């Protein structure tokens, strides 16, 4: 007979339920890091649960209306996010994520125009450096950095430190109207290639 375990296959009903109701997962790259958004939708109970980086943001247990939207914030800047729940056919649903009122795809396309991202490895640690071009704010691993701007012959330099490393982002005109200003990250006098997101 069994050795005392009533049901050795399932840990508990709640973790099983979570597995079956998880309908969508998105990774969203913001200045303060890449955030994971998970959405549970119980199509029989109407349950809706939103998790951001593993933390529960919204929980609604019983909803008679299975379609609609859930709005919440993501990241240090509390960026507005909305999950749209639409019926496709019968009991099939489509889930779309909007960030700041734009589809995730449009938001990321626009973001690549307004930010530069570099990923580098220093002193055994990974760093993700993001420049917000409109404000010249610099973020590293989720924290906004203290910076000092300086004018140089061919443009500007925005200086900051990563541990004991001197860093700056150099902004130089490309000389071409369509390209505009070119931003380069320099760490310990070495150029770091930009990382596409």
Can you give the pLDDT at residue 19?
54
| Domain end position, chosen among 66, 94, 109 | 109
pLDDT at 65: 82
Please say which residue of 46, 77, 109 terminates a domain: 109
Are 111 and 29 in contact by the 8 Å Cβ rule? The answer is: yes
- Residue 138: is it exposed, middle or buried by C-beta count within 10 angstroms (0-12/13-18/19+)? buried
What confidence score (pLDDT) does residue 15 get? Answer: 45
- Neighbouring residues of 70: CB distance < 8 A, sequence distance ≥ 6: 39, 48, 50, 58, 60, 82, 83, 85
Q: 187 and 123 share a domain?
A: yes
Say what the pLDDT of residue 156 is.
Answer: 94
Indicate whether 157 belongs to any domain.
yes
Tens of each residue's pLDDT in the chain, 197 residues: 444 444 334 334 444 444 568 999 999 999 999 999 999 998 888 899 999 999 999 999 987 788 899 999 999 989 999 999 999 887 789 999 999 999 999 999 999 889 999 999 999 999 999 999 999 999 999 999 999 999 999 899 999 999 899 999 999 988 887 778 899 999 999 999 988 77
CA 157-197-186 angle, to 5 degrees, is: 25
What confidence score (pLDDT) does residue 190 get?
94
Nearest to 43 by CA among 82, 93, 97: 93
Q: Phi first, then psi: what are they for 26, rounded to 5°? A: -130, 145
Q: Is residue 1 part of a domain?
A: no
What distance in Å separates the CA atoms of residue 41 and residue 43, rounded to the nearest whole number?
Answer: 6
Q: How many domains does the chain have?
A: 2
CATH number at 45 reads: 2.40.128.180
Residue 97 is predicted with a pLDDT of: 98
Check: CB of residue 100 under 8 Å from CB of residue 107: yes
| Residues of the domain holding 54 | 22-109
Residues 152 and 149: their CA atoms lie apart, in Å, by: 10
* Contact between 41 and 48 (Cβ < 8 Å): yes
Q: What b/e readout covers 26-36, taking b as 16+ CB neighbours within 10 angstroms?
A: bebbbbbbebe
């Amino acid at each position: 007979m069994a050795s005392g375990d009533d049901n050795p296959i399932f840990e508990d009903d709640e973790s099983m339920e979570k597995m079956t109701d998880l309908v969508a997962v998105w990774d969203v790259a913001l200045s303060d890091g890449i955030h994971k958004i998970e959405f549970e939708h119980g199509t029989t109970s109407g349950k809706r649960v939103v998790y951001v980086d593993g933390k529960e943001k919204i929980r609604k247990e019983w909803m008679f209306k299975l379609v609609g939207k859930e709005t919440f914030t993501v990241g240090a800047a509390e960026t507005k996010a909305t999950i749209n729940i639409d019926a496709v056919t019968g009991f099939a649903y489509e889930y779309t994520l909007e960030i700041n009122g734009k589809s995730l795809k449009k938001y990321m396309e626009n973001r690549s125009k307004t930010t530069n991202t570099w990923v580098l490895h220093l002193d055994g640690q990974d760093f993700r450096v993001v420049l917000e071009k409109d404000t010249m704010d610099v973020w590293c691993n989720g924290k906004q950095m203290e910076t000092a701007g300086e004018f140089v012959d061919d443009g500007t330099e925005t200086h900051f430190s990563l541990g004991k490393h001197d860093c700056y982002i150099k902004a130089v005109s490309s000389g071409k109207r369509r390209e505009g200003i070119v931003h380069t990250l320099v760490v310990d006098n070495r150029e770091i290639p930009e990382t596409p997101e």
